[in-house]
Amino acid sequence: MNFWVSSCQRIYRGLARAFPYEFRMICGDGLERLGEDMVPRVWQQWGIVGIVRLLADIALCLPYEYLSTWIAKLTEDTVIEDLLEGTWKGNKEKSKWDPKYTPEEAYLRFEATDTGYILFAYGIKDGQAVAERPRPIFPDGKRRPVVDLNGRPIPGVPPGAMAYGSRPDPYTIEGWVEADGKVLGGGTYKISEDGNTLTVTSEGMGMKGPFKVVAVLTESSVIPTHPLLKGRIKRDHLLTLDSRYIAGRLEPCFYNKFDGRMAVYEIRDPGEGEAAEAEQS
Amino acid sequence: MPRKKPEAFLPLKSHWFHILLSLLEGEQHGYGIMLEVLERSGGKVRLWPATLYGSLKRLIKEGLIAESGERPAPELDDARRRYYKLTALGQRVLDLETDRLKQLVRILQAKRKQEAQS
């Protein structure tokens, strides 16, 4: 190997090792090894021009990678954590439930989307797992038709009903539904300044008539304590109770997200006390 | 942080497209990707090491590719090499970009045909 090649390999190695730690964590020593392997080949094929091109590539990418790493760090430091995202558990003592809609346990889960949130409301009522249909909240002021997550009409919602929402301040979002210019219902979701408490004021027309609820919830990573799930769900798994169409009917079920997979537990027959794992995807 | 929609990656950067295309048939290491791109493009597209690994890093961060946990047997390949594979999102983005390019070619062909007729 001639002096030129070994010198270029040394320079290349030095530059490759100077890349940011974050870069080397992801790419390992692949950059270093690939370049070293290429130097003799490039020298044979293109001579000095190829070597200059190879070194120019790494020398130009080095400051770019540092800049990109610093920008990523700066962005991470300045992005405000979404206060609403996560699971909130109802506080029975502090909440004022409507007598017709008083659950034993209540949970709200907000999942952030590109345009707002998806709200999952679920809990235990009369000893049964219950869940509302998951619904989107768009706090951007735009009016959208009230449909389910699959774009289908929701039974009981008048045709032409439109949903809209706003975020008056970073701690509050509002969501309302109106039809023919008349507000049918909606709610305000307000987070306390310490970020630990969510107060939901909700009113409107439900299946059992008009209702008004003031629910106080605290941030929770605790999974619902439904007896059907005893011993079946690991506590560190992220569990949401949801509803899905089973044989044409909307039935509650539990979604259990872990390791990037999602297991769905249908509650097939509450009387048998069994939550069956239906499918995994 | 919600992940980007596949459409948000379009139009796909040329280097990214070539890398995703190389991973379409299976897992591949950095050097393998470089050689395949070079061969496929008839020597016209050369991904130099820093450009290649910079792109791989960004593709991993965006969730379009992932490092494969599996390694070949040491007698078959250098066990220290990192292998990369296409994710479902990467596959979707590649499909969308392919459709976009096909559409562009269709438009171009239609224009040429129109010009030839007139």
* Average pLDDT rounded to a whole number, residues A39-63: 90
The answer to whether residue B56 neighbours chain A at the CB level (below 8 Å) is yes
Of B13, B91, B25, the closest CA to residue B54 belongs to B13
Record: contact A38-B52, CB cut-off 8 A = no
Per-residue DSSP letters for A85-119? -EEEEE-TTT-B--GGG--SEEEEEEEE-SSSEEE
CB B10 within 8 A of CB B92: no
Above pLDDT 90, what percent of chain A?
Answer: 13
pLDDT digits (tens), chain B, 118 positions: 445 788 889 999 999 999 999 999 889 989 899 999 999 999 889 899 999 999 999 998 888 998 876 665 556 556 567 889 999 899 999 999 999 999 999 999 999 999 888 8
Residues with Cβ < 8 Å from A129, sequence gap 6 or more?
Answer: A122, A123, A224, A226, A228, A241, A252, A254, A267, A270
| E strands present in B18-74 | 28-29, 65-67
- The helix (H) or strand (E) run that includes residue B90 is helix B88-117
Could you tell me which chain A residue has the CA closest to the CA of B60? A26
Predicted ipTM beyond 0.90? no
CB nearest B82 (choices: A30, A35, A53)? A30
CB B20 within 8 A of CB B94: yes
Of A195, A203, A188, the closest CA to residue A88 belongs to A195
Q: Is A171 left (phi over 0), alpha (psi -120 to 50) or beta?
A: alpha
Residue A98 sits at the vertex; the CA angle it makes with A205 and A101, to the nearest 5 degrees, is 75
CB A206 within 8 A of CB A72: no
The answer to whether residue A28 neighbours chain B at the CB level (below 8 Å) is yes
Q: Residue A62 and residue A170: Cα distance in Å, rounded?
A: 38
Per residue in A84-142, pLDDT (tens digit) is: 887 888 888 888 887 777 888 888 888 777 778 888 787 777 777 777 777 788 888 88
